[in-house]
Amino acid sequence: MSFRQHVRAPRMAVYRALIDGASVQRWRVPDGMTSHVHEYDAREGGRLRVSLTYTGEGAGKSGGRTDTYHGRFATLIPGERVVEQLEFETADPALQGPMTIAFELRDAADGGTDVIGTHEGLPPGVREADNDLGWSMALRKLAALVEASA
């Protein structure tokens, strides 16, 4: 699956928001959830671990109302590309398996940045429509966060 978001800010500003744990905690969370970044070592091979918790109704993939995922940064090209390899922390086989999330940053005609993302390896227990909605919400937050500070 793929996703796209236009951000009215330069590529390096968007890139910084993709690799900064404090920024990720603010934008990379769907509506109706909170985020906690446990670990975010943004260097190739560096580890990351994040939990998303429903504020209301919702069953978590990792237990209770929480989705926790961990992984590593596979590729970091400043201002151009971020690739993460992740997996949910869960005992449910339908939610297990490696996922790859890639963000490509491209110059837009208005001087802003187009963020083109791909999410490969979505486990069979995750509805694609729910995943699409979550990314849409998160990327709108990314744009708002970066545009506010640009």
Confidence of residue 135 (pLDDT cuts 50, 70, 90): very high
d(CA 103, CA 80): 8
Confidence check: pLDDT of 150 > 80: no
pLDDT of residue 60: 87
Gap between the terminal Cα atoms of the chain: 29
In the chain, what are the domain boundaries? 2-31+73-149
Q: What would the 3-class secondary structure string for the chain be? A: CEEEEEECCCHHHHHHHHHCHHHHHHHCCCCCEEEEEEEECCCCCCEEEEEEEECCCCCCCCECCEEEEEEEEEEEECCCEEEEEEEECCCCHHHCCCEEEEEEEEECCCCCEEEEEEEECCCCCCCHHHHHHHHHHHHHHHHHHHHHHC
> CATH classification of 2-31+73-149 is 2.40.10.10, yes or no?
no
pLDDT digit string, tens, across residues 64-95 = 899 999 999 999 999 999 999 999 999 999 99
Structure tokens at 34: 């909170």
Total-model pTM:
0.94
Tell whether the model's pLDDT for residue 57 goes beyond 90. no
